[in-house]
């Protein structure tokens, strides 16, 4: 059993914002496994795959970003999974745009969605796949930046980053260790 959660905001108006990088990457994971988001459960849209005989749940919370932990907690309970079998994909302002970083644990940093996840599940010990969004050329308040749309000139860069994040999540779901995935994807 493995659970992959892509953080974002559920409304259409947020679809192409920086804060929805996790949602986009979760969609890419589902595509890699040939499944679609067909169910609503645990306050999330859910796709279910079978990978090497193991169930893999891919989820996009229907809560807003700051309450993402509610959905993650419910998913872990429903599927009787432990945080060690969880990967959360999300945008990270602390990383330069277009880069991805995988970590086996850690704090929430500046990310309110991750603060919610950590608070709800009671641990920092789960895998994070972070998609960098920091743009040194943009100087606006963080809350305005994360809710702004990706510039057309950066679109391909972020599509590629979400794809690499999805590839990393897929490798974890296939049973590769976090350390192996970090070596392969943390550039």
Show which residues are catalytic: 19
Distance, in Å, from the CA atom of 69 to the CA atom of 54, rounded to the nearest integer, reads 24
**How does DSSP assign 13-82, residue by residue?**
GGTTBGGGHHHHHHHHHHHHTT----EEETTEEEEEEEETTEEEEEEEESS-GGGHHHHHHHHHHHTT--
Q: How many CB atoms lie within 10 A of CB 3?
A: 24
Q: How many CB atoms lie within 10 A of CB 123?
A: 13
Distance, in Å, from the CA atom of 158 to the CA atom of 25, rounded to the nearest integer, reads 10
Distance, in Å, from the CA atom of 64 to the CA atom of 118, rounded to the nearest integer, reads 15
Distance, in Å, from the CA atom of 58 to the CA atom of 46, rounded to the nearest integer, reads 6
């Amino acid at each position: 059993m493995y659970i992959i959660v892509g953080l974002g905001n559920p409304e259409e108006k947020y679809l192409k914002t920086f804060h929805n990088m996790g949602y986009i990457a979760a969609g890419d994971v589902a595509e890699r496994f040939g499944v679609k988001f067909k169910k609503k459960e645990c306050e999330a849209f859910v796709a279910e795959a079978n990978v090497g005989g193991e169930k893999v749940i891919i989820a996009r919370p229907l809560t807003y970003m700051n309450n993402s932990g509610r959905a993650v907690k419910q998913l872990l309970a429903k599927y009787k999974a432990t945080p060690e079998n969880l990967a959360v994909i999300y945008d990270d302002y602390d990383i330069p745009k277009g880069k991805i970083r995988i970590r086996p644990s850690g704090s929430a940093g500046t990310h309110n969605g991750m603060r919610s996840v950590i608070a709800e599940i009671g641990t920092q010990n789960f895998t994070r796949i972070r998609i960098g969004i920091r743009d040194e050329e943009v100087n606006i308040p963080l809350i305005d930046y994360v809710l702004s749309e990706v510039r057309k000139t950066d679109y391909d860069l972020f599509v590629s980053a979400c794809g690499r994040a999805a590839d990393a999540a897929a490798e974890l779901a296939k049973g590769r260790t976090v350390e192996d995935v970090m070596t392969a994807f943390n550039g």
